[in-house]
Structure 1
Amino acid sequence: MLIIHHWDTDGIISSALTVKALNLEDFINITPPIGEFRFDDRIKKYIEKSEKIYVLDLNLPQEVEDIKKETIFIDHHIQKKIKNPYVKQINPILEGYSEKDYPSASFVVSEYFSYWDYLSAIGAVGDIGERAFDIPKVLKLLEMENLGKEEALRLVQLIDSNYIVMERYDVENAVKVVLNLEPGELLEYEKWNKNLEKINEAIENAISNIKVRDRIAFIEFKSKFNIISKVARKLVWEMGYDGAIVLNRDFHGKAQVYFRISSNLVDKIKMNELIQTLKNRNFNAGGKKEVLGCILEKDNVNEVLNVINEYLR
């Protein structure tokens, strides 16, 4: 059994829920190169060796079109329908359901397997932050483990720390850590807490220079840590900007652009149109209705920013 999952909390949690729901003892879980929306050669080699494949919380329907093995594709992003008959695509959004009812892949996984526990809630908190606490089911699931809101948010920060410090192996190992430790033990997990100290320092450095226009913040920095989404979330969710365009000009030899908007702008800015425009120009872009992420060559930064600025105008 092969599980291919996103590198963030929701992807890791969705994998752990799948393992628990199926009572798997023999499985391999892997993630794409952190920050890149593609299957690399390592993933493709594992696909060749596997009998059955799960793809979780990865908005990459194009990557499974040529797989000739039983594949279960579970997601909650806006995406195209998969034509490959070997692939079973589980995505309530494609059936017309609201994203409010399926805030995370963990919710889709839990419903699909009829298996719910506190992890289902942690996945939702990982994807939509404090808004998850407006969902009664999230609060009920957290209460089952006596977890408060602050503890849930802290747990997300700790799990996410693995991808933010760019440790692909640690992201994959996090699935086993989550499966083997109780919530209280996860909150005290030493390695993750040390990661978080370094990350928080890098984020504070990044937000020290903000430019604002029409309530949209723009920040530019250089960091080896994958903090770009965290910086954008802090600007929109905590600091109250309507949107945030964040640029990391030197991320392991490449550049990153990340655009997040608040719920106030979701109806005005069609993020899927922006994402498709960038894809049409052969950029490695992905996201959902409030988020756009793109990793690219440094020389192409201005082109991507121009596409975003033209759309906003």
Structure 2
Amino acid sequence: MNLIVHHWDTDGITSTAILVKALGLDEFTNLTAPVGEFRFDERIWKAVEKAERLYVLDFNVPDEVERVKIPTLFIDHHTQPRIKNPLVEQVNPSLGGEYWPANSLVVSEHFGIWNAWSALGAVGDVGEKAFELERVRKLLDREGISREEALRLVELIDSNYIAMEREAVEEAVEVFLSHPIKELLEYEPWVKKAEAIREAIEGAVLGVEERNGFAIAHFESPFNIISKVARKLVWELGYRGAVAINGNFHGKAQLYFRISGEEAERIKVAEVIERLKSLGANAGGKREVLGCVCERDKIEDALKIVEEYLR
């Protein structure tokens, strides 16, 4: 059995679709982790035990990959250490000091397959900045997808993980593979979820506190909107960076830290992640973002660590 474990967002889903097409996989199982948690849970480990080959895409879990006992292709673009497990082929431009804005681009480069899925992964991860890339613009133009349609597709695809519907995330891969891409703009299950989520995000950015050009947003929501709130504050409202805190997310607390490209030269996100992990938080990220999930009584300690870097 071919098993694919992927991130829950647009970049993870498009990366998976590209890999399936590139390898011509007729039979495969694709799974995502519990949304918001960077780990293999029992469900994934059981599937790994039954699999003959594993693919891990856009999911920054090097510790988990070190433990696998079957041939594995690990394609990622997040900052991470070099894997020592001899069964793992690790493809990651960051190991050579290169920054790639999306994993879909890394997968496309690795297999030599470029299409609108490649571009959508980039739009999903870096938003409007993706349109500065000539390759992204050309790939979308080739399939007649406008900038507005690309952004809307990302909103619809991401509605599955934001609504905390793990199985819907996994089903999204098959939806991708079985529908012409422009038809997805009217895919009703995603459209309904996206509307409810949009209202929640608008509410979360009200009453934001500003500190040295950084925005700090506190809210509570059952939706996993924390990264969207941070993106809105940085990309649309122009803050140098944003800290979003969901104080009660299904009994846990979430913190998401996003900085602008200029701030990424000053703030070492990898260092912040390691300090958050020392609190016992489940944390991960890349050059300009980090996310963590922790117990609710630890969120103030986590915020204090991040605030040190806002000065």
Shorter-chain TM-score bucket reads over 0.9
CA distance in 2, matches of 1:24, 1:304: 42
- Is 1:132–2:108 an aligned residue pair? no
Q: CA deviation at 1:295?
A: 0.5
Equivalent pair of 2:212/2:310 in contact (CA under 8 Å): no
Equivalent residue number for residue 165 of structure 1: 163
- The answer to whether structure 1 residue 296 and structure 2 residue 297 are counterparts is no
Q: Which amino acid aligns with 2:101?
A: P
- Secondary structure of the structure 2 residue equivalent to 1:266: helix
- The structure 1 residue matched to 2:282, chosen from 267, 276, 284, is 284
Ranges in structure 2 where 5+ consecutive residues have no aligned partner: none
1:256-295 map, 5 Å: 256-295=254-293
Matched, 1:29 2:27: no
Alpha-carbon RMSD? 0.8
Q: Which residue does 2:91 correspond to in 1?
A: 90
Question: Is it true that 1:175 corresponds to 2:140 in the alignment?
Answer: no
1:196-243 CA-partner distances (Å, limit 9, x unpaired): 110011011111111101110111011000000000000000000011
Q: Which residue of 1 aligns with 2:107?
A: 109
How far off its partner does 1:297 sit?
A: 0.5
Structure 1 residue identity aligned to 2:189: K
Distance 1:234 1:310 in 2: 23
**Counterpart of 2:5 in structure 1: which amino acid?**
I
Higher mean displacement: 190-199 or 275-284? 275-284
Q: What secondary structure is seen at the aligned counterpart in 2 of 1:152?
A: helix
* Distance in 2 separating the partners of 1:133 and 1:17: 20
Q: Which amino acid aligns with 1:189?
A: Y
Instruction: Name the counterpart of 2:58.
Output: 57
- Alpha-carbon separation, structure 2, partners of 1:286 and 1:66: 18
Report whether the alignment pairs 1:213 with 2:214: no
* CA deviation map 1:25-69 (0-9, x unaligned): 100000000001111000000000000000000111110111110
Deviation larger for 214-223 or 303-312:
303-312
After superposing the two structures, state which structure 1 stretch, 88-97 or 129-138, moved more.
88-97
Q: Which runs of 5+ in 1 are unaligned?
A: none
Q: Which residue of structure 1 lines up, in the alignment, with residue 80 of structure 2? A: 79
Structure 2 CA distance for aligned equivalents of residues 282 and 82 of structure 1: 23
Tell me the alpha carbon deviations over residues 95-151 of structure 1, each in whole angstroms, 9 at most, x when there is no partner.
232x1xx21110111111111111000001111111111111001111111111111
2:105–2:121 contact (8 Å) kept in structure 1? yes
Secondary structure of the equivalent of 1:263?
coil
Q: In the TM superposition, what are the counterparts of 1:118-267 in structure 2 within 5 Å?
A: 118-267=116-265
2:79 match: secondary structure: coil
Give me the identity figure in percent.
58
Matched to 1:153, the amino acid is L
* Aligned length in residues: 310
Confirm whether residue 4 of structure 1 aligns to residue 2 of structure 2: no
Partners of 2:132 and 2:285 in 1: how far apart? 23
Show the counterpart of 1:43. 44
